[in-house]
């Protein structure tokens, strides 16, 4: 990248400060831009890391403006850059809004590109196969496919995010997108028009590329996403929302065998076999064998458990020793081997058959691998959901993988988030990422929390493990929301609590005749729930994990956030157990160094939904007596922004009544 006026060596700090100051390029372009010293501080640290090609871990509180604090010096540096975010929606925000705005304000001729994983792009070949196979599950799927086909005529990028109204849970998406397993590569008849290839080509030519954490780590594991080619040429790598980096890495650096993979293979085997080689092999019998084996594996993985509402994480040891589980793994391997043998006989007819044979072999190898012992230093578990079982073997953290990438040198590495720990060393993040030697920076929020926010920890409240706790949370939430007239979030730590509190809250409103609506996660897509919440102020939204972060509701639309209990990691989670054992083997206190540290970060994330701008007001309620009574409660309270505590419910209700009087009429 060659800016029109590149900054001389050593002057990137002053160039960044000049751009962000009250009379700088951003202020001249946008009269809403204000100079913030906290933003300047972070931008200076980012500029210094870029100039010295070193690593920086920066925690920036809400309102700092961290996005511009890292983008401005990155753009001004003239360095080729990679920016990774936690989600595809954040990617879109950077690519469509923030970067074009900054590029224009700074007047830099910077080319930017957006790169997502395969599952985000329309695959023309598979779309045609889906139309011909006639195996769509219902009329809604038929309509959705027709909508996708119509859109395919006009899209330039093939990014499914462009398609309004497409539910991310739609059964059509896996039918019209490719995966590493089923992509035909250069042998595909639609290769020249391939949207994935085009996106990668544009990424390789761009000065700055926006990716996401999943893509980054999937590439490290598979060398298949385009980042592998890109990373060696990059001089600056920025990871926003870095608190999600470790979990994304653990997920993608592991090895996975899912029953959904096997069912997808069986579906494709049947469709391609009947379309292109009817009568040359017993395709229906072979596909049915793979499908039956996949379903038996899921049944064996579930064991005596009832159908889960969400995803359960099961200990490997509880299933691995069972005869039916071992037999199911062997059955899947044998079914895939049989399919592979048949596919080999027709491999020359079409590249589709060669790819299917390769997939059959990979599934058989995975079934065999999970039938043997796990590699040393790795942990196994089973993710069980209503639709599939996922067998996972994973490293405990991303230390080794990230260190390997950083060892090559010559790059600046920037890791930033609003929550990276509760100590100055940001050790919650730096330890799991192997970044203990990196420079750390904590920049607090410029918001006046003491004046604008209150914290209430109800005294004498039932303990979270007591059966009356969910109803007590709902009863308190009803009183608070009634005073405020809605505009309330209830954040739960488990799906079980989500359903119990949501039902109890709905019942209380109905019994009292309140014109308040309960919106509950799972009853509609997340985006739709948020639209309903914003459109109807007299609402209470009850959400679990996906609503603890990434939700931005500034203004008086949200003025009360209620957290059901302290978000400690589940102690029986296999990954948690493995990490605890490692800490204890090192002679460390696992409760203080892991459980409390994890809870502090999660609590900060949940609390962060409340105050999103300088003028926001609100009440945070933590319905867990341990927050006040246990010795670690002080550490957790200090991890939160400096909100003023209220002593009792009367004070909490008085504060909400004040807010209701200041708010828009409802």
- Position 650 in a domain: yes
For 239, phi then psi, to 5°, come to -120, 105
Using pLDDT thresholds of 50, 70 and 90, give the confidence band for residue 6.
very low
Residue range 392-415: average pLDDT? Answer: 89
Query: 638 and 561, same structural domain?
Result: yes
Convert the pLDDT of each residue in 267-301 to its tens digit. 999 999 998 999 999 999 999 999 999 999 999 99
Query: 556 and 476, same structural domain?
Result: yes
Strand partners, 417: 59
Q: Which helix (H) or strand (E) holds 622?
A: strand 618-622
Residue range 567-583: average pLDDT? Answer: 93
Residues 10, 17: Cα–Cα separation, whole Å: 13
Last residue of a domain, one of 331, 363, 395: 395
Convert the pLDDT of each residue in 346-357 to its tens digit. 988 988 999 999
Do strands 439-443 and 560-563 pair parallel, antiparallel, or not at all (unpaired)? unpaired
Query: 258 and 238, same structural domain?
Result: no
Query: 609 and 518, same structural domain?
Result: yes
Query: 484 and 508, same structural domain?
Result: yes
> Which residue, 488, 465, 466, is CA-closest to 478?
488
> Is the distance from CB of 258 to CB of 359 less than 8 angstroms?
no
Query: 282 and 226, same structural domain?
Result: no
- Position 87 in a domain: yes
What is the DSSP secondary structure assignment for residue 95, as one 8-state letter? I
Convert the pLDDT of each residue in 444-477 to its tens digit. 999 999 999 999 999 989 999 999 999 999 999 9
Helix (H, G, I), strand (E, B) or coil at 260: helix
- Position 178 in a domain: no
pLDDT for 4 beyond 70: no
Token pair of 3, please? 């800016």
Using pLDDT thresholds of 50, 70 and 90, give the confidence band for residue 140.
confident
- Position 508 in a domain: yes
> Is the distance from CB of 102 to CB of 72 less than 8 angstroms?
yes
Please report the pLDDT score of residue 47 as a whole number.
97
Residues 141, 134: Cα–Cα separation, whole Å: 11
Convert the pLDDT of each residue in 322-379 to its tens digit. 899 999 999 999 999 999 999 999 988 988 999 999 999 999 999 999 999 888 888 9
- Position 606 in a domain: yes
Query: 231 and 292, same structural domain?
Result: no
> Which residue, 448, 481, 455, 488, is CA-closest to 615?
448
Q: Considering only CA atoms, give the Rg of the chain.
A: 26
Residue range 167-175: average pLDDT? Answer: 83
Convert the pLDDT of each residue in 417-451 to its tens digit. 999 999 999 999 999 999 999 999 999 999 999 99
> What is the rounded average pLDDT for all residues in the chain?
91
pLDDT for 58 beyond 70: yes
Convert the pLDDT of each residue in 107-131 to its tens digit. 999 999 999 888 899 999 999 988 8
Please report the pLDDT score of residue 664 as a whole number.
43
Tell me the torsion sign for CA atoms 521, 522, 523, 529. positive
Domain membership of residue 26 as a residue range: 12-117+198-245+401-443
Query: 279 and 232, same structural domain?
Result: no
Residues 347, 100: Cα–Cα separation, whole Å: 48
Do strands 378-384 and 312-315 pair parallel, antiparallel, or not at all (unpaired)? antiparallel
Helix (H, G, I), strand (E, B) or coil at 284: helix
- Position 153 in a domain: no
Query: 263 and 390, same structural domain?
Result: yes
CATH number of the domain encompassing residue 474: 3.40.50.300
Using pLDDT thresholds of 50, 70 and 90, give the confidence band for residue 19.
very high
Own/partner pairs, 425-431, CB within 8 angstroms, 24+ separation: 426/57, 426/59, 427/597, 428/597, 428/598, 428/600, 428/601, 429/57, 429/242, 429/243, 429/245, 429/246, 430/57
Please report the pLDDT score of residue 224 as a whole number.
52
Residues 504, 479: Cα–Cα separation, whole Å: 13
Q: Is 516 left (phi over 0), alpha (psi -120 to 50) or beta?
A: beta
Looking up tokens 């950083």, which residue turns up? 406
The number of folded domains in the chain is: 3
> Which residue, 405, 371, 386, is CA-closest to 312?
386
Token pair of 211, please? 């990716």
> Which residue, 301, 307, 302, 272, is CA-closest to 286?
272
Convert the pLDDT of each residue in 96-106 to its tens digit. 999 999 999 99
Residues 610, 560: Cα–Cα separation, whole Å: 7
Convert the pLDDT of each residue in 193-235 to its tens digit. 999 999 999 999 999 999 999 888 877 665 555 566 777 889 9
Residue range 490-503: average pLDDT? Answer: 94
Query: 325 and 390, same structural domain?
Result: yes
CATH number of the domain encompassing residue 377: 1.20.1440.60
- Position 174 in a domain: no
Cα angle 216-220-225, degrees, rounded to a multiple of 5: 60
- Position 164 in a domain: no
Using pLDDT thresholds of 50, 70 and 90, give the confidence band for residue 7.
very low
Query: 528 and 432, same structural domain?
Result: no
Using pLDDT thresholds of 50, 70 and 90, give the confidence band for residue 57.
very high
Helices 66-77 & 12-20 angle (0-180, nearest 10): 130
pLDDT for 387 beyond 70: yes
Q: What does 107-146 look like in DSSP terms, one character per residue?
A: T----EEE---GGGB--HHHHHHHHHH---SSHHHHHHHH
Please report the pLDDT score of residue 649 as a whole number.
95
pLDDT for 568 beyond 70: yes
> What count of other Cβ atoms lies within 10 Å of the Cβ of residue 515?
9
Tell me the torsion sign for CA atoms 478, 481, 487, 488. negative
Query: 638 and 528, same structural domain?
Result: yes
Tell me the torsion sign for CA atoms 73, 75, 80, 84. positive
């Amino acid at each position: 990248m060659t800016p029109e006026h590149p900054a001389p060596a050593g002057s990137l700090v002053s160039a960044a400060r000049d751009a962000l100051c009250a009379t700088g390029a951003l202020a001249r372009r946008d009269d809403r831009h204000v100079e913030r010293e906290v933003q300047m501080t972070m931008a200076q640290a980012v500029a210094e890391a870029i100039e010295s090609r070193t690593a920086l871990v920066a925690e920036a509180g809400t309102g700092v403006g961290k996005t511009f604090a890292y983008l401005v010096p990155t753009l001004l540096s003239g360095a080729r850059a990679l920016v990774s975010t936690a989600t595809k929606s954040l990617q879109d925000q950077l690519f469509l809004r923030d970067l074009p705005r900054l590029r224009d304000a700074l007047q830099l001729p910077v080319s930017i590109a957006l790169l997502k994983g395969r599952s985000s792009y329309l695959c023309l070949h598979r779309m045609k196969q889906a139309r011909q196979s006639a195996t769509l599950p219902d009329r809604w799927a038929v309509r959705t496919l027709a909508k996708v086909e119509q859109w395919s005529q006009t899209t330039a990028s093939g990014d499914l995010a462009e398609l309004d109204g497409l539910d991310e849970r739609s059964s059509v998406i896996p039918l019209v997108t490719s995966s590493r397993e089923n992509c035909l590569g250069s042998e595909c008849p639609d290769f020249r028009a391939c949207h994935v290839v085009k996106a990668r080509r544009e990424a390789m030519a761009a000065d700055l590329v926006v990716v996401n954490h999943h893509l980054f780590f999937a590439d490290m594991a598979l060398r298949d996403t385009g980042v592998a080619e890109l990373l060696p040429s990059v001089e600056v790598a920025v990871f926003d929302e870095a608190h999600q980096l470790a979990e994304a890495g653990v997920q993608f650096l592991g090895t996975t065998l899912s029953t959904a993979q096997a069912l997808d293979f069986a579906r494709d085997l049947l469709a391609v076999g009947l379309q292109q080689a009817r009568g040359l092999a017993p395709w229906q019998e072979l596909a049915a064998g793979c499908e039956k084996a996949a379903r038996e594996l899921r049944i064996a993985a579930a064991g005596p458990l009832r159908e889960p509402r969400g995803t359960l994480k099961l200990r490997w040891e509880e299933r691995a020793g069972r005869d039916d589980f071992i037999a199911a793994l062997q059955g899947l391997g044998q079914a895939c081997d049989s399919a592979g043998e048949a596919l080999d006989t027709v491999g020359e007819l079409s590249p589709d058959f060669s790819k299917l044979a390769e997939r059959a072999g990979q599934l058989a190898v995975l079934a065999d691998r999970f039938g043997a012992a796990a590699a040393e230093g790795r942990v196994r578990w089973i993710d069980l959901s209503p639709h599939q079982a996922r067998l996972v073997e994973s490293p405990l953290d991303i230390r080794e993988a990230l260190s390997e990438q950083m060892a090559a040198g010559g790059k600046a590495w920037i890791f930033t988030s609003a929550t990276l720990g509760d100590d100055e060393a940001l050790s919650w993040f730096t330890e799991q990422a192997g970044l203990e030697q990196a420079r750390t920076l904590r920049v607090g929020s410029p918001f006046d929390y003491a004046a604008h926010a209150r914290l209430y920890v109800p005294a004498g409240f039932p303990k979270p493990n007591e059966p009356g706790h969910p109803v007590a949370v709902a009863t308190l939430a009803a009183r608070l929301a009634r005073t405020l007239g809605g505009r309330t979030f209830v954040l739960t730590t488990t799906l079980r609590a989500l359903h119990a509190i949501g039902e109890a809250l709905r019942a209380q409103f109905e019994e009292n005749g309140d014109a308040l609506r309960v919106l509950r996660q799972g009853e509609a897509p997340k985006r739709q729930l948020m639209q309903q919440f914003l459109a109807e102020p007299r609402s209470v939204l009850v959400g679990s994990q996906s609503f603890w972060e990434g939700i931005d509701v500034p203004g008086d639309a949200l003025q009360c956030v209620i957290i059901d209990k302290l978000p400690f990691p589940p102690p029986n989670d296999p990954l948690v157990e493995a990490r605890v054992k490692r800490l204890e083997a090192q002679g460390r206190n696992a409760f203080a160094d892991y459980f409390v540290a994890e809870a502090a970060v999660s609590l900060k994330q949940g609390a962060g939904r409340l105050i999103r701008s300088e003028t926001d007001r609100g009440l945070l309620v933590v319905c867990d007596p341990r927050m006040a009574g246990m010795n670690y409660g002080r550490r957790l309270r200090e991890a939160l922004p400096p909100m003023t505590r209220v002593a009792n419910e009367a004070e909490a209700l008085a504060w909400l009544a004040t807010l209701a009087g200041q708010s828009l009429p409802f």
